[in-house]
A and B are shown apart, each in its own frame.
Chain A
Amino acid sequence: MDLTFTEEEDAFRARLRRWLGEVMPALPAKPAADDWPGRRAYDAAWQRMLYDAGYAGLHWPEDAGGRGATPTQHLIFLEETERAGAPYVGANFVGLLHAGPTVAAEGSAEQRARWLPPILRGDEIWCQGFSEPDAGSDLAALRTTAVRDGDHYVVSGTKLWTSHAEVADWCELLVRTDPDAPRHRGISWLAMPMDAPGVTVRPLRTLAGSAEFAEMFLDEVRVPISHRVGAENDGWRVTMVTLSFERGTAFVGEVVACRRMLGALARTARDNGRWDDAVLRRRLGRLHAEFAALWRLTQWNVSEAAAARPPGGGGGGVPGTGGSVFKLRYSHARQELYDAAAEVLGAGALDADHEWVAGRLSSLSYTIAAGTSQIQRNIVAERILGLPKGR
């Protein structure tokens, strides 16, 4: 067990810090939460800066356009960029964390050449069209159909909760290509251009008031067969590759941010007198231990991934199951953090414009999105503990 860094890792951190110190002051002001074109431009510009400085796709394998960095370097990158207050992936989330890694792992040489460089440069934004009105936790129940017509699929159906659909250029789409096969064996993974005729996006307002996700109607959308990644009807397996990435290191920066926020909560409480309340103080003390341990769990998972890393690069995925343990605990801890923030604010917690109040609202999605807590517990119980499947 070694928590120290090698000379190379220290040098990597120093170089990154120097670069962040240079570029951060030049960053434009953050756009308003509901200014979607502005947000896209801001996120894309940051990604372009990363690309130009050699930090884009840091932990992607080199043959996918990445830098082949180790998982530890990737961790340092996420830690330092968050510390510096740099933007997070934002609208590039799906491209960098799901669709890109899937194409890198499962795509043909042409597909990689077509889709990966624009993701890394921040030129193209992706969204994820998996969930449907009748297929949420039970994703394999999805009904959007894709029927072959010459060298195209004709796709029809409804997708739901599609984040960033309004600004996306591409959608990683799960469709049913064989309605007669067993559920998991009739699904394919397609890259659908969002400007194709027949795609209609209707934004949905979240409880936080913003339009983070959308409903997407697909009416006989023609998608070239060459846009399918992986074999026909093998989309379920292809998707599981994606999901293990999603549950891996996606929250590293956020844990760093939560730890910083905890310090701010304590200082605010001391200034406004709430610190005298021993119950609140103890609650903050407990959260201190909680987030420190979540950071250690992250380091543990990353070290495990490093040990399992294939020779020749690539970050290795954090195993989906270790990611489930983390996500379960983190999503609840985040909600507790924002509830504690509300207690520190008192009546100030009713001010919708307060940053912590917006954070409190959005924290509610953490136990739902990317596999609900109940589903994560099923995964932990069945795949790690080996308990029998059941109802």
Chain B
Amino acid sequence: MRTITSLAGAAALAVTIGAAGAAHAGKDLDAIKARGQLICGVSTGTAGFSLADSKGVWTGMDVDVCRAVAAAIFGDASKVKYVPTTAQQRFTALQSGEVDMLSRTTTWTLTRDTALGFDFTGVSYYDGQGFMVNKKLGVKSAKELNGATICVSPGTTTELNLADYFRANKMQFKPVVIEKADEIRAAFFTGRCDVYTTDASSLYSVRAANVPAPLTAADFVILPEIISKEPLGPVVRHGDNQFGDIVRWALYAMVEAEEYGITSANVEQMLKSEDPTIKRILGVTPGMGKALGVDEKWVVNIVKQVGNYGEAFDRNLGAGSPLKIERGLNQLWTKGGLQYSPPIR
């Protein structure tokens, strides 16, 4: 009955917020430590970002961010409980405390960062919204989509950008809106819609992983237009800045590690490095861990168990994965991309 749970979740939120006692600083982190586990809200299944295999083991870029946070807090990346959420349910789940954080292809917007009561802690993937169509339609550009029927998930920036784009270009469309990711994809593949729209990365993921036989990935094209900015990143709720800081710096640590050439393979040798920056990052020169309120070996734990940003990207989305997505905007700033960590000092 997942379909109606988002409303039930919202109702539960009304009750929890009504009954909850006064908040105090560090309450989320204390609760996580007491529980011995981080509860991370992920998607219900988007290959490359968060997907559970038949044994219930979660993998993906978004999952790796959760694991990095657990590695920072507990020194053990496996101390995570994953809670699958649809786009519609995710914010209620976070507001009500059902999850400690979200790491599920969620776009950083002003409203979410303010009125919804959240803080975005960084950008794990710079994305943009795209369109996918069946090749048979012969469509070459999004500008040709006037009158199309378009499959889209509710409660997303996608849904809003779509309406904006068609308004700006004086075109009409008919949305088909279904909450469950599987169902909306099925509606597209069976031909209920001409177009499927979501973050471009998810389009690549769906095309690589979800096309039902006898159709194949080659039957579908992703149109060249990218109609929006979708900076996807981890989210925490207002009220515990220390936990927010840990989530923020866990991701930065992965980026910083890549920039300084620290990998899961060489992190042990790097501990012997004479470079003062690397010594600081890896806690050989103490201070950073204490400032964050975690173990001084936090970055060592993250890199050893999860890898640096580049390793995680390759394994989940890039050359080492079925998706083969280019680094593009997600390349390090030193290589012409946007991934840039403030200094760990």
A binds B: no
